[in-house]
């Protein structure tokens, strides 16, 4: 026979529970603490990313591609480059070095990166190397200041900002700036490119070794391209000026052929 508590014992136990703080019921039904907990519903898998997803703000190359594609003219391209915040070189540079010369020129010279003088003035090739370049171009009847397209030249660089201590640009820096270079060439639409130095060849040809590349016509961005020694190299190695003169004559001959 099941035992039952008498009234006074049950009342005493209830008062004792109240003194312990058990003053209210928290459920209408008893809870079985030994019952296995139910599994929480599994989250639904995330929807796959489609090609129409917006450009990731942390992808410098994608941001550069979008910015360059939006530029409708050279002024727009310069503004897009000035607004590009993903290249750390911008933090330490004094000026954006965009271009110089006549954009209607048949020749577009693409150098490597600005140096100290270029950073100060905001123009490419204005130091000792730039002065030598001007003399080299003058020897074949070209002048960046000329308003006559057939006598003019247009000059820019792979990078618009000076690297610290004039170090070589990193592959990452080159990659994030290449969309702007491609758009620059598209907007200018020259007849030929002159690639000055190893960095320009690496960026546009995917190859280095200027001593092997120079003096040989190739193709870059769908245009005839002639790799040449950088004027800074010629200042350090005057014996190479003979090769540079040979390359200038090749450039002159190619332009004459294209004109006829």
Kindly report, residue by residue over 189-212, the tens digit of the pLDDT.
999 999 999 999 999 999 999 999
Q: Indicate the pLDDT class of residue 20, thresholds 50, 70 and 90.
A: low
DSSP state of 152: B
Is residue 212 a part of any domain in this protein?
A: yes
- The residue that leads in pLDDT, 41 or 178, is 178
Q: How many CB atoms lie within 10 A of CB 65?
A: 18
**What are the pLDDT digits (tens) for 131-178?**
999 999 999 999 999 999 999 999 999 999 999 999 999 999 999 999
Does the residue 37 lie in any domain? no
Residue 17 lies in a domain: no
3-state secondary structure of 151: helix
Could you give the number of structural domains in the chain?
A: 1
Full domain range(s) for residue 164: 60-259
Residue 117: inside a domain: yes
Cβ neighbors of 114 (< 8 A, separation 6 or more) are 93, 97, 124, 157, 159, 160, 161, 162
Q: What is the reported pLDDT for 8?
A: 65
Q: Is residue 3 part of a domain?
A: no
Q: How confident is the model at residue 226 (pLDDT cuts 50, 70, 90)?
A: very high
> 205 burial class (0-12, 13-18, 19+ CB within 10 angstroms)?
middle
- Would residue 38 count as lying in a domain? no
Q: Is 228 part of any domain?
A: yes
Residue 27 has what pLDDT? 53
Residue 232 belongs to some domain of the structure:
yes
| pLDDT for the residue 233 | 96
Of the pLDDT bands very low, low, confident and very high (cuts 50, 70, 90), residue 259 is: confident
The CATH number of whichever domain residue 138 belongs to comes to: 3.40.470.10
Radius of gyration for the alpha carbons in the chain, expressed in angstroms and rounded: 35
pLDDT of 26: 55
DSSP 1-24: ------HHHHHHHHHHHHHHT--S
Of the pLDDT bands very low, low, confident and very high (cuts 50, 70, 90), residue 230 is very high
pLDDT (tens digit, 9 = 90+) per residue, 90-132? 999 999 999 999 999 999 999 999 999 999 999 999 999 999 9
pLDDT tier at 40, thresholds 50, 70, 90: very low
With 60 as the cut, is the pLDDT of residue 186 above it? yes
- Helical spans, DSSP H, in 145-189: 171-188
Token couple for 131: 């002065």
pLDDT band at 72 (very low <50, low <70, confident <90, very high): very high
Instruction: Indicate whether 10 pLDDT > 70.
Output: no
* pLDDT over 60 at 45, yes or no: no
């Amino acid at each position: 026979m099941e035992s039952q508590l008498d009234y006074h014992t049950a009342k005493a136990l209830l008062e004792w529970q109240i003194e312990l703080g058990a003053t209210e019921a928290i459920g209408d039904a008893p809870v079985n603490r030994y019952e296995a907990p139910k599994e929480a519903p599994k989250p639904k898998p995330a929807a796959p990313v489609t090609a129409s997803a917006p450009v990731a703000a942390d992808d410098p190359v994608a941001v550069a591609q979008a910015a360059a594609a939006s530029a409708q003219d050279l002024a727009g391209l310069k503004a897009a480059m000035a607004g590009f915040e993903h290249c750390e070189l911008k933090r330490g540079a004094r000026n954006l070095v965009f271009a110089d010369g006549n954009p209607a020129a048949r020749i577009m010279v693409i150098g490597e990166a600005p140096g100290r003088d270029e950073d100060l003035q905001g123009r490419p090739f204005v130091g000792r190397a730039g002065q030598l370049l001007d003399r080299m171009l003058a020897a074949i009847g070209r002048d960046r200041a000329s308003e006559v397209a057939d006598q003019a030249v247009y000059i820019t660089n792979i990078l618009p900002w000076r690297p610290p201590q004039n170090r070589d640009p990193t592959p990452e820096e080159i990659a994030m700036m290449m969309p702007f270079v491609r758009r620059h060439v598209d907007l200018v639409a020259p007849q030929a490119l002159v690639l000055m130095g190893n960095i320009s060849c690496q960026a546009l040809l995917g190859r280095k070794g200027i001593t092997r590349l120079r003096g040989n016509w190739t193709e870059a961005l769908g245009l005839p391209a002639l790799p040449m020694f950088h004027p800074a190299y010629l200042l350090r190695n005057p014996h190479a000026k003979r090769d540079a003169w040979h390359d200038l004559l090749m450039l002159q001959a190619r332009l004459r052929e294209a004109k006829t």
